[in-house]
Amino acid sequence: MVAVKHEDLSMAFDFVSYAAPMEHNAYVSLDTGKVYWASDSNDAFDEDIPDDLETSDRYLAIPHKNDLDLGRTLVLRFVAQELPASYDQVEGFFQRQGAYSRFKDLLRRKGVLEVWYTFEADSVERALRQWCAENGLEILEA
């Protein structure tokens, strides 16, 4: 079992999830635990990337938040738990662009924005730990 630093994994996950799926990528070496970053929109990340990164089975792609149901699904789970009367409204937010800004505006007005941030962080942490366990990665804490 290879070990990956928690901080490296977390930062890479945020990097991958910040953009649209497949726009930013990050990979963990199954031999060393080193994390490699790549982006279609920025060549600066290409300096240190192994040539066989996308073709070898020795690298594991770090998932996008949508791959772990940490996007819209997570928002709706939170709303069902914390703001059930607003569920239909929030679901409607996701019918067009700008859903997250409308969602966060609603949370601010309802006074639960910090509750959302805690819920989201805990959910991401659990999902990443589960993903690591399923893929034979050990997480090294700082």
pLDDT for 37-86, tens place per residue?
Answer: 888 766 545 567 888 877 888 999 999 999 999 999 999 999 999 999 99
> Do 46 and 15 fall within a single domain?
yes
Residue appearing with tokens 């192994």: 50
Distance CA 71, CA 66 (A): 5
Domain assignment present for residue 37? The answer is yes
Distance CA 25, CA 61 (A): 7
User: Domain range spanning residue 10?
Assistant: 2-63+132-140
> Do 9 and 53 fall within a single domain?
yes
- The pair phi, psi for residue 5, each rounded to 5°, is -70, 135
DSSP state of 18: H
> Do 43 and 80 fall within a single domain?
no
Quick: pLDDT tens for 117-137.
999 999 999 999 999 999 999
Distance CA 78, CA 70 (A): 11
Q: How many domains does the chain have?
A: 2
> Do 92 and 114 fall within a single domain?
yes
Domain assignment present for residue 126? The answer is no
Distance CA 14, CA 86 (A): 28
